[in-house]
Every structure is written in structure tokens, then in C-alpha cells.
Chains A and B, each alone.
Chain A
Amino acid sequence: EVQLVESGGGLVQPGGSLRLSCGASGFGFSNFAVSWVRQAPGKGLEWISYINSGSGNIIYYADSVKGRFTISRDNAKKSLFLQMNSLRAEDTAVYYCARLAPGYYYMVVWGKGTTVTVSS
């Protein structure tokens, strides 16, 4: 079964850091681009970062997280990561990892999400 499972969420103080992980199974992880998408409580979906397939040498960020978040992947471990620094209250959200369609930027497979709460 094709599956993505996020982990690493939790409660963190403003200005703090957190590292999210997303484990893939049931497909050739290295062959697919992946993204992080978040959803603030009661709000809609917001794309925040993309990394291409293979070496992961093509990376994009939304302006809202640029300079604070870092996306990376470890194909050997079939894992995607999101290092989040300088966290703010407005980063509070459920964070989803998603596998993209080959050659396109739409999400085909979504993980169940992990919750990040930034509060003192």
C-alpha cells in the first residue's frame, strides 16, 4: 500500500525549532517529487515547500517560510524532512507531506499529517 506517515510534531515555544519527518512506503520514493502542505486550525491548505525527485537539488519555498524552514530528503531511508526554525504562532498547523504526480505539481498521495503548535 502506498503510504506517507508524518512524525515529529508537538508543542514548541515561539522562536524554537522542530524537525518533521515523513516516511514513505509502498512505492519508489526516490522517483517522486514531494511537498509539504500545512493547514492552520479551521483554515484552508497552504503549500510551503517542494523538493524534486532523485538528488533533491531543486527546492522551492513559500515566502511565508523562506529563510526559516529547510526541506531535505534521504532516499536511502525513504524519508522527507522539514527543519523548522524561528517558529512563530502563525506556524501552528497540521503539516502534511504529499507525493506529487510525475512531472507535475499536484498532490496525488497525502500523509495523515502531524500537528505543530507554537505557543508559550
Chain B
Amino acid sequence: DIQMTQSPSTLSASVGDRVTITCRANQSISTWLAWHQQQPGKAPKLLIYEASSLESGAPSRFSGSGSGTEFTLTISSLQPDDFATYYCQHYNSYLVTFGGGTKVEIK
């Protein structure tokens, strides 16, 4: 099975900060990677697919990059709505797995 590892697990930041989250796969997944945002008490929401494609309706301050085994999600200027947990997800096969999540907290 493909394992996804996110870092850091928790991140403290302020409104306006630039934030970067890393996701690593234990084998190459090309660009078959998505990022989901989960606000407290809510369902996840798709932000990015195919490593760097912004989902329709997602704010342009979110961007993704990477290929192979290393990927990043960047928030260019953190907004109050962005304090949430972020999950990467590979979809290299039907047996999808998620990273452990990165919680973005208010500093």
C-alpha cells in the first residue's frame, strides 16, 4: 500500500502569513495527488487535484506543486477561514490513502 506522510502535523501561523505544508509518498505517484481542507466540525472540501490544479471555487491563494514522491500545498496569505486541517490524498489506484493531516492553528 502507498503511505502518505504529512509534515508538520500542526502549524501555528498568523493571518497574512505564507504557509507551506508537505506531503510525501513512499513510492512514486506521478501527480495523482489531491488536497482537501476540513474546517472544524465540517466535511472535507476538495482544494487541489492532480497535484497543482485548483478546484473550481477554491480561492486562488491556494496552490499545489510537486510530482513523484514529494508535494507541497501553499497558502499565499492565510485568511481566517483557512484555519483548518489539511489532508493530502493519493489516487494512484482505487486503494486511496490520506495523509495524517496538518492542523493550521492561530498563532
Main secondary structure of the interface of A (DSSP, over half): strand
Determine the interface band of chain B, counting residues with CB < 8 A from chain A. 20 to 34
Answer yes or no: B66 CB below 8 A from chain A CBs: no
Assess the A107–B97 pair: CB atoms within 8 A: no
Assess the A47–B98 pair: CB atoms within 8 A: yes
What are the residues of chain A within 8 A of B43 when measuring CB–CB?
A: 96, 110-113
**What separation, in Å, do the CA atoms of A110 and B99 have in the docked complex?**
18
Least CB distance from B26 to A in Å reads: 16
**What separation, in Å, do the CA atoms of A96 and B44 have in the docked complex?**
9
Residue of B nearest to A35 (CB): B96
What are the residues of chain B within 8 A of A96 when measuring CB–CB?
A: 43-44
Chain B proximity mask over A34-52: 1 for CB below 8 Å, otherwise 0:
0100000000111100100
What are the residues of chain A within 8 A of B97 when measuring CB–CB?
A: 47
Least CB distance from A12 to B in Å reads: 22
**What separation, in Å, do the CA atoms of A106 and B96 have in the docked complex?**
8
Assess the A107–B95 pair: CB atoms within 8 A: no
Determine the interface band of chain A, counting residues with CB < 8 A from chain B. 20 to 34
Assess the A106–B89 pair: CB atoms within 8 A: yes
Q: A45-B87, A96-B44 are in contact. Are A105 and B94 (CB under 8 A)?
A: yes
Chain A proximity mask over B85-106: 1 for CB below 8 Å, otherwise 0:
0010101011111111100000
Residue of B nearest to A109 (CB): B46
Answer yes or no: B34 CB below 8 A from chain A CBs: yes
Answer yes or no: A11 CB below 8 A from chain B CBs: no
Could you jot down 15 A-B contacts, CB within 8 Å? A35-B96, A44-B98, A45-B36, A45-B101, A50-B94, A60-B94, A105-B91, A105-B96, A106-B46, A107-B36, A107-B46, A107-B89, A108-B55, A109-B46, A110-B46
6 closest pairs, A vs B, by CB? A105-B91, A106-B34, A110-B43, A45-B98, A106-B91, A60-B94
Residues of B within 8 A of A (CB): 32, 34, 36, 42-46, 49, 55, 87, 89, 91, 93-101
